[in-house]
């Protein structure tokens, strides 16, 4: 059974405290960071060990490309998604093809080392945000939708579920919600007509969403990830979205409006999130775990959709995943080198 908390570990191997935590029913997932990565072989050994302890565990990573890429040593270094947007202005067909190949390549390499999914793609606008920038595909929805759609098709072709982020849009908010409160003063109509369109137009392809830690002040007083208005009324009722909802990291500064880690995860789950992320603070993760220990487990059918098609293969220090992988890897690396 999959619990409602996703946490992290400190090292490249599990310690005894990690093992005890993973055996706790409400721990449903682990997210890996750069500090957990030495080589493809080491990552596969780590994820195999996790599954020996908890076969139902979901294992995730942020492998967007560009400046947000945790798996580096022994993996393909992917371009930022904004590079496909630049190419789309002059060669739209080639840009879409490359985006699909990049999604497939990313997912193939991540699945090979035993990780179920990457929290990707970013569906935000590249507007004024200090934290989004070229993590977004483009500056307008007309370009984002075909590129992000192609990237997600590539992920699905490889056997990986996708997660669109950060609903209803973080790109038009300057503050970085990791380190500051993020507030958007626009009207619902303006957000709906602009930032939300990528989520709306791609919702049939989306397996999961991650709400933003942004307060849309003239609409609701709570950050979207703690808001029953955004999650229940807009996503579930109006848009009929039935995919998984992951909170963004509940240790981020913009999430502190809800209180401590215990109050934050309870607020996220009460609003309608299926799983809450508590990263890089073990004390906070334990506090959150204690807060939800007596709650019912989340919707299992939804969370099972995030299970990746993990291949039963031996992994070496360097990846070697066959002819198609080598061919696509070469194409993406050549594109990146041309930038």
Residue-wise pLDDT for 86-103, tens only, equals 999 999 999 999 999 999
Confidence label for 128 from pLDDT (cuts 50, 70 and 90): confident
For 123-143, what is the mean pLDDT? 91
pTM for this entry = 0.96
pLDDT score recorded for residue 190: 93
For 5-31, what is the mean pLDDT? 97
- 88 token code pair: 């789309």
Q: Which of 103, 156, 154, 112 is nearest to 311 (CA)?
A: 112
Please count the other Cβ atoms lying within 10 Å of the Cβ belonging to residue 195: 27
Is the confidence at residue 257, as pLDDT, over 80? Answer: no
pLDDT score recorded for residue 183: 85
pLDDT score recorded for residue 131: 87
CB 209 within 8 A of CB 148: no
Beta strands in 293-332 (DSSP E): none
pLDDT score recorded for residue 318: 83
Is residue 213 annotated as part of the catalytic site, yes or no? no
CB 9 within 8 A of CB 57: no
Confidence label for 184 from pLDDT (cuts 50, 70 and 90): confident
Cβ contacts of 55 within 8 Å, gap of 6 or more: none
Q: Is 24 exposed, middle or buried (0-12, 13-18, 19+ CB in 10 A)?
A: middle
Is the confidence at residue 180, as pLDDT, over 80? Answer: no
For 209-213, what is the mean pLDDT? 94
Confidence label for 173 from pLDDT (cuts 50, 70 and 90): confident
Confidence label for 130 from pLDDT (cuts 50, 70 and 90): confident
pLDDT score recorded for residue 51: 97
| Lowest mean pLDDT, pick from 62-71, 142-151, 196-205, 258-267 | 258-267
Q: Vertex 172, ends 178 and 302: CA angle to 5°?
A: 65
Alpha carbon separation from 51 to 23, 30, 58, 63, 114 (Å, rounded): 11, 11, 9, 21, 9
Q: Which of 56, 130, 178, 192 is catalytic?
A: 178
Confidence label for 243 from pLDDT (cuts 50, 70 and 90): very high
Confidence label for 178 from pLDDT (cuts 50, 70 and 90): low
Q: Which of 62, 248, 249, 262 is catalytic?
A: 248
Q: Could you tell me what percent of the chain has a pLDDT over 90?
A: 88
Domains and CATH numbers, the chain: 5-337 (3.20.20.300)
Is the confidence at residue 177, as pLDDT, over 60? Answer: no
Q: Give the 3-state secondary structure of residue 243.
A: coil
Is the confidence at residue 179, as pLDDT, over 80? Answer: no
Query: What is the bridge-based pairing of β-strands 63-65 and 68-69?
Result: antiparallel
Is residue 248 annotated as part of the catalytic site, yes or no? yes
Residue-wise pLDDT for 245-254, tens only, equals 999 999 877 5
Residue-wise pLDDT for 135-158, tens only, equals 999 999 999 999 999 999 999 999
Rounded to an integer, what distance in angstroms lies between the CA atom of residue 176 and that of residue 44? 33
């Amino acid at each position: 059974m999959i619990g409602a908390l996703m946490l992290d570990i400190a090292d490249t191997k599990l310690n005894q405290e990690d093992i005890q935590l993973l055996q706790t029913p409400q721990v449903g997932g682990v997210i890996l960071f750069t500090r957990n990565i030495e080589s493809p072989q080491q990552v596969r050994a780590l994820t195999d060990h996790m599954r020996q302890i908890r076969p139902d565990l979901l294992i995730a990573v942020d492998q967007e490309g560009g400046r947000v890429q945790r798996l580096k040593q022994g993996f393909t270094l992917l371009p930022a998604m904004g590079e496909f947007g630049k190419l789309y202005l002059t060669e739209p067909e080639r840009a879409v093809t490359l985006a699909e190949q990049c999604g497939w390549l990313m997912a193939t390499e991540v699945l090979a080392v035993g990780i179920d999914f990457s929290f990707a793609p970013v569906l935000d606008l590249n507007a004024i945000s200090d934290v989004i920038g070229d993590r977004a595909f483009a500056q307008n929805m007309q370009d984002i939708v075909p590129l992000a759609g192609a990237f997600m098709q590539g992920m699905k072709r490889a056997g990986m579920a996708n997660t669109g982020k950060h609903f209803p849009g973080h790109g038009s908010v300057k503050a970085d919600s990791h380190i500051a409160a993020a507030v958007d003063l626009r009207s619902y109509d303006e957000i709906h007509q602009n930032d939300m369109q990528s989520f709306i137009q791609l919702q049939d392809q989306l397996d999961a969403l991650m709400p933003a830690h942004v307060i849309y002040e003239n609409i609701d007083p709570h950050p979207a990830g703690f808001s029953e208005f955004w999650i229940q009324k807009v996503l579930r009722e109006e848009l009929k979205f039935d995919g998984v909802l992951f909170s963004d990291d509940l240790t981020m500064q913009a999430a502190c409006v809800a209180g401590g880690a215990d109050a934050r995860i309870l607020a996220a789950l009460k609003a309608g999130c299926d799983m809450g992320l508590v990263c890089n603070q073990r004390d906070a993760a334990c506090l959150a775990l204690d807060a939800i220990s007596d709650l019912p487990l989340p919707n299992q059918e939804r969370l099972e959709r995030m299970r990746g098609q993990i291949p039963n293969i031996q992994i070496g220090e360097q990846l070697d995943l066959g002819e198609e992988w080598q061919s696509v890897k070469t194409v993406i690396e050549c594109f990146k080198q041309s930038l």
